[in-house]
Amino acid sequence: MPKMKSVSSAKKRFTLTATGKIKRKHAFKSHILTKKTTKQKRNLTHVTTVDHANLKAVRKMLVM
């Protein structure tokens, strides 16, 4: 049986915490920032965890 490969793009986007949760960055923070408010950009800066609804799919991409 061949080895399972994780999705390369997922490896770059997600990291594990010590407790086993998966961290992610917010979207909409890379370009077209002039029309966004300072508050909106500031709130997009912080790292958050992957939602429960997407957790199974992300774990599958990371081969966990």
pLDDT digits (tens, 9 = 90+) for 14-27: 999 999 999 999 99
Specify whether the CB–CB gap between 62 and 11 falls below 8 A.
yes
User: Torsion angle, CA of 35/9/11/22, rounded to 10 degrees?
Assistant: 50
Pull the structure tokens for residue 28. Answer: 């909409």
Q: 12-62, pLDDT tens digit by residue?
A: 999 999 999 999 999 999 999 999 999 999 999 999 999 999 999 999 999
Specify whether the CB–CB gap between 15 and 23 falls below 8 A.
yes
**Rounded distance between C-alpha atoms, residue 28 and residue 18, angstroms:** 27
